[in-house]
Each structure stands twice: as C-alpha cells, then as structure tokens.
C-alpha cells in the first residue's frame, strides 16, 4: 500500500508540474532575432540553415496553421523537428476560405478559438514559451470574412483567445496579429493600422494589457521598395509608431515580433535589397532590445504574387538571402520544454512510467480520476 501511495504521488507531481510554468520575457535571455516566414512544415530544414548560421542558434519561424489543417501527427513532427533543429516556432492561427466567397478568409469564431487552444495544447512544444499569433491583418476586409474591418470584434476575439489559451496552459505567449501598414482608411474595405489600434483603445483599452506581445508588419511601403532610412508610418520602422499606441495603454513595454517584412525584388535590385536588409537587421531591429524576432516574408514561393519576396529560387539562395545568412548572429538560449523520459520508481518492483501526450479535453478528467483514486487509497490505509 505504501508503494502504491508513493507511485500515485509521483504521478500527481508529473500531472500538475507540467502546468506550473508560465511565460517568461524572451528579451531577458540571449536571443537570436533572425527568423523567416514559412508556409509549409517541410521547409524547416531550409529555414534552420538560413537563420542559425554564422554563430546563430535558436532562430525563429513564423508559420500559419489553418483551421482545417489540425493534423496531430503532422504538427507534432513539426515541433519535434523544431527542437532538433533549434528553431523557435511562432504559429499564426488562421481560419479558412469563406464558403460564400473563397477570395476572403472567414471571420474567426469562439468555437474556432476553443478548438485551436485544445489542439495546440495537445502538442509538445520545443520551448517553454508557446508563441501564438492571433490571426492576420484584421484591418483588411479580405481577412475579415469580406465585411468591413471591425476593431471591436477583433478585440473581443483576442481577449477571448487569451483567456481560453491561458486556461489550457500559462505557457502560451499570446501575440496580437500584425496589421497591414499600407491599408487606406476608407472604413469599408480597409482601416489604417493606427486608426484600427485607436478604435481598439477607445473600445477596450485593457486589450493591450491582455496580450503578451505585439506583431508588426513593418514593410517598406509604398510598393515594398523604400530604403530603411525612411522611418515614417509605412516603413521598416512601422512597429515603433504602432508601439507608441500600444505602450500608452498597456502600461508596460511589450515585446515586439516583426512577423512580416521584405522588399519587392521586381522593382528593387537584389543587391540593393541585401544592403537594405543588412542595415535594418543591424542598425534598426537589431539595435532595439524589445524586438524579439524578425521573420521576413518569405522563405520560398512557387511563383505567383509572393515570388517577388522569396529568399529561395528553387534550391538557390537569392543574393539578399545569402547576405542574410552570412550576417553575424547570436546563440539564443530559450527556456526549453522538459520532456520526461521513461523512468522506474521504487526499484524493479514497479514498472516504468511513460509520460505520453494527453489530449487537452482529457486532462481534467485524468487529474480528477487520479485524485479520487489517491484519496480513496489513502483513507483506506487503516482498514
């Protein structure tokens, strides 16, 4: 009976300690800000070679995960590969094409958010901070179900998402989605990113206290073609102007994730882009201690509208990608997730316990069952 009680106590410790952590500020640890935006989980090897080069380690990737793409084996393999390759994932949750107009993305619902929280909590992440980006460019109609952008609706979805994800695990690091920094302010199809943030502040100023970080799409507009010396509202310094609003209401300086940026190679020579990228990484983003990650758009493209941004042409690095790879980087030191190995307890008399994945929806019932069994056995000792 005594051995059974000890075994149950160990199981209780395992079940409860994995939820006892919480997010940490990534700017307080050695951090490699170099990253890249990818579209497919199979691109991770290429991404790692690009961002963990020349002294770098534990760079970042931003990757979207669509509602209909919640395949547990696929995404756990991705997380395992990220751990092996020393890559920190930033997962951007996304809905799917709207059935009534497949040219736009469906509006997220509370049910979408709950399902994402359950699914992403089912995965074993490589780092303690589980970076989740809450949707994308909601100041555009085509990212909001084809309807006029609604800062108020988006604020409600974000607050709900933070509450739901944090209830699953305090390790979720919730980041407000990046805004289109070139959107006109017609109030029908588009809202200027600053007008969008100011309307959120007027509606729910506590929004900025709820989020753990802020994402910025600091593109060098217009036409993704301006030099980094241009530091206006639509530039590689967009995030600084956005953060003036965020900081005003958050009461603290939030970490910044530049999850999209890049130049138009159709109009800017590749060698010039290489120079612009170097200046931006070293003298702008790299000099700002609150910038956690920079993930330019995009690692590779199969043609189409994204081809002007791609870092790879087939299997060959573009000149600006080769420069990006050659830049000196920092050896990051994130807090890692501890994966418990199989272990034996009480010598050879007790079989080893394997710590396996427990789906989110089963966690509370499992804890309840163990607790009931423990106390039942405990109070039966003297009988």
Instruction: Annotate 58-112 with DSSP letters as a single string.
Output: SEEEEEEEEGGG--HHHHHHHHHHHHHHTEEEEEEEE--EETTEEEEEPPP-HHH
d(CA 369, CA 332): 40
Over 80: is that where the pLDDT of 208 sits? yes
Q: Cite the DSSP H helix spans in the chain.
A: 2-17, 44-51, 72-85, 110-121, 151-168, 193-203, 207-210, 238-250, 270-279, 319-326, 360-378
**Which stretch of DSSP H or E encloses residue 256?**
strand 256-260
Maximum distance among all Cα pairs of the chain, rounded to whole angstroms? 84
pLDDT of the residue at 21: 63
Give dist(CA 247, CA 249) in Å, integer.
5
At residue 279, the 3 state secondary structure works out as helix
pLDDT digits (tens, 9 = 90+) for 329-350: 999 999 999 886 654 434 443 3
Give percent of the chain with pLDDT exceeding 70: 83
Q: Peptide bond preceding 57: is omega within 30 degrees of 0, i.e. cis? A: no
User: What pLDDT score does 350 carry?
Assistant: 34
* 9-39 residue pLDDT tens: 433 433 344 444 699 999 999 999 999 999 9
Residue 288 backbone phi and psi in degrees, to 5: -95, 110
Structure confidence at residue 341 (pLDDT): 65
Give the residue-averaged pLDDT of 256-263.
Answer: 98
Lowest-pLDDT choice from 8-12, 141-145, 304-308: 8-12
Least Cα distance to 162 among 214, 197, 89 occurs for 214
Q: What is the pLDDT of residues 187-198, one digit of tens each?
A: 899 999 999 999
pTM over 0.75: yes
d(CA 165, CA 368): 21
Specify the pLDDT at position 17: 41
Lowest mean pLDDT segment, chosen from 9-13, 73-77, 135-139, 195-199: 9-13
The yes-or-no verdict on residue 351 having pLDDT over 90 is no
Q: For the chain, give the mean pLDDT.
A: 87
């Amino acid at each position: 009976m005594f051995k059974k009680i000890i075994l149950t106590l160990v199981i209780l410790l395992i079940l409860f300690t994995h939820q006892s952590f919480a997010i940490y500020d990534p700017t307080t640890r050695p951090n490699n800000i170099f990253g890249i935006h990818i579209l497919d989980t199979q691109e991770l090897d290429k991404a790692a070679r690009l961002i963990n080069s020349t002294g770098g380690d534990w760079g970042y990737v931003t990757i979207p995960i669509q509602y209909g793409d919640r395949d547990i084996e696929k995404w756990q393999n991705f997380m395992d590969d990220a751990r092996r390759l020393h890559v920190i994932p930033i997962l951007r949750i996304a809905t799917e094409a709207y059935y009534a107009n497949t040219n736009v993305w469906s509006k997220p619902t509370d049910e979408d958010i709950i399902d994402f929280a359950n699914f992403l909590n089912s995965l074993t992440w490589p780092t303690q901070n589980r970076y989740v980006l809450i949707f994308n460019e909601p100041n555009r109609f085509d990212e909001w179900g084809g309807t006029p952008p609604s800062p108020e609706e988006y604020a409600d979805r974000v607050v709900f998402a933070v509450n739901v994800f944090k209830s699953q695990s305090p390790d979720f690091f919730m980041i407000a989605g990046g805004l289109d920094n070139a959107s006109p302010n017609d109030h029908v199809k588009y809202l200027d990113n600053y007008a969008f943030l100011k309307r959120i502040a007027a509606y729910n100023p506590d929004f900025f206290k709820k989020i753990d970080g802020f994402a910025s799409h600091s593109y060098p507009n217009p036409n993704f073609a301006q030099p980094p010396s241009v530091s206006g509202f639509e530039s590689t310094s967009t995030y600084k102007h956005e953060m003036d609003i965020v900081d005003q209401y958050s009461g603290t300086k939030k970490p910044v994730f530049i999850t999209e940026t890049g130049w138009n190679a159709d109009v800017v020579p590749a060698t010039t882009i290489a120079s612009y990228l170097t200046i931006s990484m070293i003298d702008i983003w790299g000099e700002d201690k609150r910038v956690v990650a920079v993930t330019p758009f995009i690692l590779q493209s199969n043609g189409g509208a994204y081809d002007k941004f791609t870092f790879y042409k087939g299997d060959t690095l573009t000149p600006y990608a080769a420069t990006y790879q050659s830049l000196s980087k920092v050896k990051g030191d994130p807090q890692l997730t501890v994966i418990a190995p199989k272990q034996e307890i009480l010598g050879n008399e007790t079989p080893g316990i394997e710590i396996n994945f427990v789906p989110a929806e089963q966690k509370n019932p499992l804890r309840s069952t163990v607790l009931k069994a423990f106390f039942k056995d405990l109070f039966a000792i003297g009988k």
